[in-house]
Structure 1
Amino acid sequence: MAAERLRSVLAPAVRLGCTADFEQESLPVDEVPGWFAAVGSGGEERVPQFARAGRGAYAEHTGGGRPWHLQDWLYRFDPDEDSRGWEWWDATVAGPSRVHVWVDSWGESFFGCQDLLWAAFTAGAVRVEGPTVQKAAVWSAERNSQPNP
């Protein structure tokens, strides 16, 4: 479930990165899930429990990291933005309560990923390990072992 929610958040952000005019004051949010838009905005009545728990887990994991406002998070997908050190690839289910998040870090083992952590935790991650560098073949083998939706 967390993998599907993570995909539902990252897919529109990646599309915006390819199509949006990042010179505008704000980016369109109509494709972003409402729960994700609400989790950083204070719209508590629209924030499901998994996202509330994720917001707390993010703060704990990052040593008090503040919630991301939706527009700030979306602007990280500006193709000219240098501070995002990763490119979305995939999420695979690795067990009953384990999801592997796959990104391209251009071979770097250490990269800025606070924005990715925010998405993962608010999508339902309870704990995050890594990042670790893996070869594409590891992802391919895991992806090919996934049940067809």
Structure 2
Amino acid sequence: MAETSDFDSEELPEDSIPGWFTDVSREDANFGALAGQAAIRGDRRYQDSHNEDPWELQEWLFSFDPERRPWAWWDGVAAQDKVVIWVDTNGDPVIASHNLRWLVYVPGAVSASRLDLQDSMNWRMQHDDL
């Protein structure tokens, strides 16, 4: 979506965003009408662990503007009780990642560990067998 969206527009399209995610991301929504209990718990875990307010949907969508974020999504691997996400930081040792953390908490992540910088070859060796 980030590569095809017009980030110069007033609003970004929401038609491809699942209703439960949209519901959690709306300040004026009847919270929980579409959002399942996992999403509601994920929203609260995000707020508790990061001392942050939940993301408003349009604000969150605009945070993926390739000109505003220094990272790119590369891969994700699910194994046992965790999901490991690989993002390319273009060599930056510190990146703003709250939008990415919101993305993992709302669908039901119990926790999100710190970012761990690794060489891409190390990633491949660790996760080829998963």
Structure 1 distance, partners of 2:37, 2:70, is: 29
Does residue 30 of the first structure (1) align with residue 15 of the second (2)? yes
Of stretches 22-31 and 136-145 in structure 1, the one that deviates more from structure 2 is: 136-145
Q: Greater relative contact order (Cα 8 A, min sep 6): structure 1 or 2?
A: 1
- Return the offset for 1:143: 4.1
Query: What do residues 102-147 of structure 1 show as CA deviations (whole Å, max 9, x unaligned)?
Result: 111122232101101110111211111110101112332344323x
Q: 1:31 corresponds to which letter in structure 2?
A: S
Aligned to 2:87: 103
Equivalent residue in structure 2 for 1:45, among 33, 40, 47: 33
The alignment of Structure 1 onto Structure 2 pairs a total of residues equal to: 127
Asked if the contact 1:39/1:55 (under 8 Å) is kept, the reply is yes
Asked if the contact 1:87/1:105 (under 8 Å) is kept, the reply is yes
Structure 1 distance, partners of 2:123, 2:107, is: 21
- Segments of 5+ residues of structure 2 without an aligned counterpart are none
- Segments of 5+ residues of structure 1 without an aligned counterpart are 1-14
Aligned to 1:57: 45
Asked if the contact 1:38/1:46 (under 8 Å) is kept, the reply is yes
Structure 2 distance, partners of 1:125, 1:78, is: 24
Aligned to 2:53: 66
Structure 2 distance, partners of 1:139, 1:23, is: 35
Structure 1 distance, partners of 2:85, 2:59, is: 22
Structure 2 distance, partners of 1:29, 1:138, is: 36
Aligned to 2:77: 92
Q: What is the TM-score of this pair, normalised by structure 1? A: 0.78
Asked if the contact 1:87/1:103 (under 8 Å) is kept, the reply is yes
Q: 1:23 corresponds to which letter in structure 2?
A: D
Asked if the contact 1:107/1:133 (under 8 Å) is kept, the reply is no
Give the aligned CA root-mean-square deviation in angstroms: 1.5
Q: What is the TM-score of this pair, normalised by structure 2? A: 0.88
Aligned to 1:123: 107
